[in-house]
Amino acid sequence: MYTEIVLAGFGGQGVLLIGKLLAYAGMKAGREVTWMPAYGPEMRGGTCNCTVVLSDRPIGSPISKAPHGLIALNLPSLDKFEDAVRPGGTIVVNTSLINRLPRRTDVTAVAVPANEVAIECGSPKAANMVALGAYVGASGVVELDHVKAIVAESFAAKPKLVEINHAALLRGVALGQEQAATSAAR
């Protein structure tokens, strides 16, 4: 098992955080993990991104030229990384902010209105959790229990936030599983 995932969005959308949660979940599952932020000359209003690698073996490069998965929370992120995703990979698109679907037909595309779903779950800030859930649900990259556990640990000081984030995560998982199944059936 070797998976590279790029997570991207505007600064403030929490892509670095869900990247860390994914890496921690991988650690809980006993895998080797790396988390690498892009720290280059990024443009204000452009994309902020990180790469997470989960593997059964020691990880070589923590940077990905051709990821297996992409979580795009805004349009510049989808524009920038869509073509790089490996055939057969998974792309999660936040349709609350992105007015198009992936053009690629050789990947599993998961479209989630992450912001709206997050508001329904109790906080617009949990849009990142919806997207993370959608990716986990569609790809099965790591067991959901590990993700739930690390979310609970990360927000342990604020039980209300655990509740909201868990709800958002699970809504995302359901959307991801559903769309992955439809995609596989096609």
Residues that bind other proteins (CB under 8 A): 20, 23-24, 27, 33-37, 39-41, 57-63, 65
Report the residue number, 84 or 181, with the smaller CB distance to other proteins: 84
From the centroid of its chain, how far is CA 171? 14
Q: Which of 118, 136, 138, 143 is nearest to 128 (CA)?
A: 118
Query: Helix (H, G, I), strand (E, B), or coil: what is residue 30?
Result: coil
Report the residue number, 60 or 140, with the smaller CB distance to other proteins: 60
Closest distance to other proteins from the beta carbon of 97 (Å): 26
Closest distance to other proteins from the beta carbon of 19 (Å): 9
Closest distance to other proteins from the beta carbon of 33 (Å): 7
β partners of residue 36: 51
Q: Which of 55, 5, 24 is nearest to 150 (CA)?
A: 24
Report the residue number, 39 or 99, with the smaller CB distance to other proteins: 39
CB 114 within 8 A of CB 132: no
Angle at 38 between CA 116 and CA 180, to 5 degrees: 45
Closest distance to other proteins from the beta carbon of 63 (Å): 6
β partners of residue 34: 53
Report the residue number, 47 or 115, with the smaller CB distance to other proteins: 47
